[in-house]
Amino acid sequence: AQSVTQPDIHITVSEGASLELRCNYSYGATPYLFWYVQSPGQGLQLLLKYFSGDTLVQGIKGFEAEFKRSQSSFNLRKPSVHWSDAAEYFCAVDNYGQNFVFGPGTRLSVLP
Protein backbone atom coordinates (compact mmCIF):
# COMPACT_ATOMS: atom_id res chain seq x y z
CA ALA A 1 0.00 0.00 0.00
CA GLN A 2 1.06 3.53 -0.65
CA SER A 3 2.44 5.37 2.36
CA VAL A 4 3.94 8.71 3.26
CA THR A 5 6.28 9.33 6.14
CA GLN A 6 7.29 12.60 7.69
CA PRO A 7 10.08 11.74 10.11
CA ASP A 8 9.91 14.96 12.10
CA ILE A 9 6.86 15.33 14.32
CA HIS A 10 7.81 18.81 15.53
CA ILE A 11 10.44 21.29 14.37
CA THR A 12 11.35 24.60 15.96
CA VAL A 13 13.29 27.25 14.06
CA SER A 14 14.11 30.87 14.68
CA GLU A 15 12.52 33.53 12.55
CA GLY A 16 14.75 34.25 9.57
CA ALA A 17 16.39 30.82 9.65
CA SER A 18 16.13 28.35 6.81
CA LEU A 19 13.73 25.41 6.93
CA GLU A 20 13.60 21.91 5.50
CA LEU A 21 10.73 19.53 6.18
CA ARG A 22 11.26 15.95 5.15
CA CYS A 23 8.85 13.70 3.28
CA ASN A 24 9.41 10.16 2.06
CA TYR A 25 6.93 8.08 0.13
CA SER A 26 6.38 4.49 -0.84
CA TYR A 27 4.69 4.25 -4.20
CA GLY A 28 4.62 1.80 -7.07
CA ALA A 29 4.52 4.26 -9.94
CA THR A 30 5.50 7.79 -10.84
CA PRO A 31 4.03 9.74 -7.96
CA TYR A 32 2.08 12.95 -7.94
CA LEU A 33 3.19 14.74 -4.78
CA PHE A 34 1.79 17.63 -2.78
CA TRP A 35 2.51 19.77 0.25
CA TYR A 36 -0.33 21.34 2.21
CA VAL A 37 -0.28 23.65 5.23
CA GLN A 38 -2.89 23.73 7.98
CA SER A 39 -3.27 26.49 10.52
CA PRO A 40 -4.98 25.63 13.83
CA GLY A 41 -8.66 24.80 13.36
CA GLN A 42 -8.49 25.37 9.62
CA GLY A 43 -8.62 23.32 6.46
CA LEU A 44 -5.64 22.51 4.27
CA GLN A 45 -4.10 25.04 1.91
CA LEU A 46 -2.11 23.83 -1.07
CA LEU A 47 1.51 25.04 -1.03
CA LEU A 48 2.86 23.30 -4.12
CA LYS A 49 2.60 20.17 -6.25
CA TYR A 50 4.72 17.96 -8.47
CA PHE A 51 3.36 16.04 -11.44
CA SER A 52 6.30 15.76 -13.82
CA GLY A 53 9.14 17.73 -15.38
CA ASP A 54 11.44 19.98 -13.40
CA THR A 55 12.11 18.29 -10.08
CA LEU A 56 12.40 21.60 -8.23
CA VAL A 57 8.96 23.15 -7.86
CA GLN A 58 8.06 26.55 -6.57
CA GLY A 59 5.02 27.21 -4.45
CA ILE A 60 3.26 29.98 -2.63
CA LYS A 61 4.61 31.91 0.36
CA GLY A 62 8.22 31.43 -0.76
CA PHE A 63 8.23 27.63 -0.38
CA GLU A 64 9.88 25.20 -2.76
CA ALA A 65 10.24 21.42 -2.86
CA GLU A 66 12.55 19.04 -4.64
CA PHE A 67 11.52 15.63 -5.93
CA LYS A 68 14.31 13.03 -5.70
CA ARG A 69 13.24 9.73 -7.20
CA SER A 70 16.39 7.91 -6.04
CA GLN A 71 15.63 8.80 -2.43
CA SER A 72 11.82 8.60 -2.70
CA SER A 73 11.73 12.05 -1.16
CA PHE A 74 9.92 15.33 -1.67
CA ASN A 75 11.35 17.70 0.90
CA LEU A 76 9.93 21.16 1.49
CA ARG A 77 12.24 24.13 1.92
CA LYS A 78 12.11 27.81 2.67
CA PRO A 79 15.21 30.03 2.86
CA SER A 80 13.91 32.40 5.53
CA VAL A 81 11.05 31.51 7.85
CA HIS A 82 8.50 34.07 9.02
CA TRP A 83 6.55 33.89 12.28
CA SER A 84 3.35 33.43 10.23
CA ASP A 85 4.70 30.13 8.86
CA ALA A 86 4.04 28.42 12.19
CA ALA A 87 1.52 25.70 11.33
CA GLU A 88 1.16 22.00 10.56
CA TYR A 89 2.60 20.80 7.25
CA PHE A 90 1.39 17.71 5.43
CA CYS A 91 2.94 15.85 2.54
CA ALA A 92 0.59 13.82 0.34
CA VAL A 93 0.73 11.44 -2.61
CA ASP A 94 -1.99 10.84 -5.16
CA ASN A 95 -3.10 7.22 -4.79
CA TYR A 96 -3.57 6.25 -8.44
CA GLY A 97 -6.18 8.93 -8.94
CA GLN A 98 -8.49 7.58 -6.27
CA ASN A 99 -7.62 9.58 -3.19
CA PHE A 100 -4.70 11.23 -1.48
CA VAL A 101 -2.58 9.50 1.13
CA PHE A 102 -1.28 11.95 3.70
CA GLY A 103 1.69 11.80 5.99
CA PRO A 104 1.24 12.31 9.73
CA GLY A 105 2.33 15.94 9.52
CA THR A 106 5.14 18.08 10.91
CA ARG A 107 4.32 20.85 13.33
CA LEU A 108 6.46 23.93 12.81
CA SER A 109 7.09 26.38 15.62
CA VAL A 110 8.86 29.68 14.96
CA LEU A 111 10.84 31.48 17.66
CA PRO A 112 10.98 35.28 17.56
Partner 1 sequence: DTGVSQNPRHKITKRGQNVTFRCDPISEHNRLYWYRQTLGQGPEFLTYFQNEAQLEKSRLLSDRFSAERPKGSFSTLEIQRTEQGDSAMYLCASSLASTGEETQYFGPGTRLLVL
103 scored as a contact of partner 1 (CB under 8 A):
yes
Q: Give the shortest CB-9-to-partner 1 separation in angstroms.
A: 8
Give the other-Cβ count within 10 Å of 39's Cβ: 12
Residue from 28, 40, 43, 112 binding partner 1 (CB under 8 A): 43
**Backbone angles phi and psi of 24, in degrees to 5:** -125, 145
Please return the burial class of 24, using the count of CB atoms within 10 Å of its CB with bins 0-12, 13-18 and 19+. Answer: middle
Which residues inside 49-68 make contact with partner 1, applying CB under 8 A?
Answer: 49, 51
Which residues inside 73-92 make contact with partner 1, applying CB under 8 A?
Answer: 90, 92
